[in-house]
Amino acid sequence: MMTRTTRRSLALSLLTAGLATGLTGCITLLPEVKPVQLYSIRFNPALLEKGDVKAPPASPDAKPVDVFVNFDGFPRASAGDRIVTTEGNEVSFVSGGRWASTAQGQFRDLMSEGFARQASPEVRLGDQGRLSGDYRLDVTVRRFEAAYAKRRPTVIVALDARLVRLKDRQVMAEKFIASEVAVRKGNLAPLIEGFETAASRVTVDLIGFTETAVAEAKARETVPAQ
């Protein structure tokens, strides 16, 4: 005959076993979380078109001009690590993929790499922390997104560029620069390549603008006053 103590021990044992089984079942029934894929972009000359701006030949007696880059702004929605898409007035973020670091930081690094690889020796990017120098290049990024129309994305990178002479804060030249790259496939890999292509092309155009504006500014300075 089973005693009261024995029955109580058996009931506790069965309860413990049931809880363990229930918890095991809960663990196995949890959905698997798909990891988020991270992406990065770099300056890629292989993606440039043949008609893109090329660096002019450097003069053997030319003195390098220091240009300090000042990022005036970046679209708030696009500045972080989320990949932004737009359709009309709607703004969305890509699910399942993000930038490996902030888009603003990646574009800044891409642009610096482009100047280092593509610009002529007559123009060089200086340290942003210095207060003295020749010219300042103000860069205000207006768009950094994939715009959808009829379910087809087009990557758009657009910015305002302004060259300022530092000794008197005079604006020497201004230009709006943009690149649009149509993406044929809707998955993420071609979309990221579209961002890399558009950003690289904009950078090359920005280099061309900077070199031309600096050359024209120097030429005006050497013309004797009438």
**10 Å Cβ neighbour count for 211?**
22
Q: What is the pLDDT of residues 163-209, one digit of tens each?
A: 999 989 999 999 999 999 999 876 899 999 999 999 999 999 999 99
Q: What is the pLDDT of residues 12-66, one digit of tens each?
A: 444 444 444 444 444 445 556 667 899 999 999 888 876 554 555 555 566 788 8
Q: What is the pTM of this model?
A: 0.79
Which CATH entry fits the domain spanning 37-49+62-222: 3.40.50.300, 3.40.50.10610, 3.90.1200.10, 3.30.365.10?
Answer: 3.40.50.10610
Break the chain into its structural domains and give their ranges.
37-49+62-222
Q: What is the pLDDT of residues 81-138, one digit of tens each?
A: 999 999 999 999 998 899 999 999 999 999 999 999 998 888 887 755 555 568 999 9
CA gap 143, 103 in Å, rounded: 11
pLDDT of residue 223: 60
Pairing of strands 170-182, 135-149: unpaired
Among 173, 185, 176, 184, residue whose Cα is nearest residue 205: 176
DSSP assignments along 64-76, one per residue: PEEEEEEEEE--T
pLDDT of residue 63: 77
pLDDT of residue 10: 42
pLDDT of residue 129: 52
Q: Are 74 and 51 in contact (CB under 8 A)?
A: no
**Torsion over CA: 7, 13, 19, 21 (sign):** negative
